[in-house]
């Protein structure tokens, strides 16, 4: 975007300032065309590591690399004028030490142009979040179900029922104290998500966490019906683009086979027809 553009891009302090205000609208995006559509309607375009599952066909997010996040991050940044692109830090790129996290977060920001990153984890990531935010890396945190920990959690289960609730609350408080500008609450019981939202001074962005969060996020391929391998309960389908694409491609295949495509209007005649009124020399 040029320095003279009339559109002011959303930045982390704008998101932080939306606490308790109009709900924050967040969707994932992985490509420039989708980022343009998300940009027109949303506050944040999250380049989630869900890209590994919905675009690359991986069985989980664990195989996502820095290179994948940089490639998709650049594409999304190109498509955003207003909405804030946030890049997920992939598994293995930040857990080892605050220094490793800074090296990779600064690379994600420098090589994509995105103004913020997201990383998973609560109390155990607080030191890293403080290290990053003190050094110019705005962090969106992510607690509750953290899909990169699927193997230690034992599946994609609800996190925070019964005695687990106190830990999720402590995780959310810890990432706020460390300087996160917002926190994603994934698959957290609704009442607990509401209590966390009340307790925190930074916005909560829910996914499967009920309506009383400060905002909502969904994976765009889930809500458009493009990713159909499985459908979490918290996903509402706003379109059936996968089904529509299937029907369109079936029609194309049939028309190629019966030679009804391409039609004359899709081709180029051997002779260019003379323009009406033109004098043929
Ligand atoms: O990777 C992702 O898309 C996410 C959202 C589900 C929050 O982390």
CA–CA distances in Å: residue 120 to residues 92, 123, 178, 260? 11, 11, 14, 52
- What is the average per-residue pLDDT within 74-80? 98
Q: Which of 44, 50, 68, 120 to mutate to test the pocket of ligand 1 (most atoms within 8 A of CB)?
A: 50
| pLDDT band at residue 168 under the 50/70/90 scheme | very high
Residue 279 has pLDDT above 70, yes or no: no
Q: How confident is the model at residue 272 (pLDDT cuts 50, 70, 90)?
A: confident
**pLDDT given at position 45:** 98
pLDDT, tens digit, for every residue of 240-254? 999 999 999 999 999
120 lines ligand 1 (CB under 6 A): no
Four-point Cα dihedral 212, 215, 217, 223, nearest 10 = 70
Specify whether 186 is catalytic.
yes
CB 81 within 8 A of CB 42: no
pLDDT classification of 276: cutoffs 50, 70, 90? confident
Digit-coded pLDDT (tens) for 11-47: 999 999 999 999 999 999 999 999 999 999 999 999 9
pLDDT of residue 82 exceeding 90, the answer is yes
Q: For residue 236, is pLDDT > 60?
A: yes
**What local confidence, expressed as pLDDT, does residue 274 receive?**
84
pLDDT given for residue 281 in this prediction: 54
* Mean pLDDT across the chain: 96
pLDDT tens digits for 260-270? 999 999 999 99
Ligand 1 atom, smallest distance to 49 CA: 1
Task: Please tell me if the CB atom of residue 48 comes closer than 6 angstroms to any atom of ligand 1.
Answer: yes
pLDDT at position 278, please? 66
Residue range 119-134, pLDDT digits in tens = 999 999 999 999 999 9
pLDDT score, position 1: 47
Please give the average per-residue pLDDT across 180-200, as a whole number. 98
Alpha helix (H) residue ranges in the chain: 12-16, 32-41, 51-54, 66-79, 98-112, 126-134, 150-153, 164-178, 190-199, 220-223, 241-257
Q: What is the pTM of this model?
A: 0.94
Give the number of the atom of ligand 1 that is nearest the alpha carbon of residue 147.
8
């Amino acid at each position: 975007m040029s320095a003279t553009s009339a559109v002011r891009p959303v930045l982390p302090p704008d998101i932080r300032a939306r606490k308790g205000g109009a709900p924050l609208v967040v969707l994932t995006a992985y490509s420039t065309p989708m980022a343009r559509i998300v940009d027109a309607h949303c506050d944040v375009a999250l380049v989630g590591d869900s890209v590994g599952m919905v675009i690359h066909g991986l069985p989980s997010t664990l195989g996502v690399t820095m290179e994948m996040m940089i490639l998709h991050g650049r594409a999304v940044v190109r498509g955003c004028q207003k909405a804030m692109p946030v890049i997920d830090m992939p598994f293995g790129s930040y857990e080892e030490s605050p220094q490793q996290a800074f090296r990779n977060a600064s690379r994600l920001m420098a090589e994509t142009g995105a103004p913020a990153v997201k990383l998973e984890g609560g109390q155990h990531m607080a030191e890293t979040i403080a290290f990053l935010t003190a050094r110019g890396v705005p962090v969106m945190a992510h607690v509750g179900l953290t899909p990169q920990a699927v193997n230690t959690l034992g599946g994609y289960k609800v996190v925070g029922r019964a005695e687990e609730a106190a830990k999720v609350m402590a995780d959310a408080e810890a990432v706020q104290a460390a300087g996160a500008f917002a926190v994603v609450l994934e698959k957290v019981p609704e009442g607990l998500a509401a209590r966390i939202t009340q307790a925190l001074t930074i916005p909560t962005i829910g996914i499967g966490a009920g309506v009383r969060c400060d905002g909502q996020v969904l994976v765009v391929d889930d809500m458009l019906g493009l990713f159909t391998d499985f459908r979490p309960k918290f996903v509402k389908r706003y379109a059936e683009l996968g089904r529509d694409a299937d029907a369109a491609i079936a029609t194309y295949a049939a028309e190629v086979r019966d030679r009804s495509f391409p039609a004359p209007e899709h081709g180029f005649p051997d002779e260019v027809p003379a323009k009406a009124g033109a004098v043929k020399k």
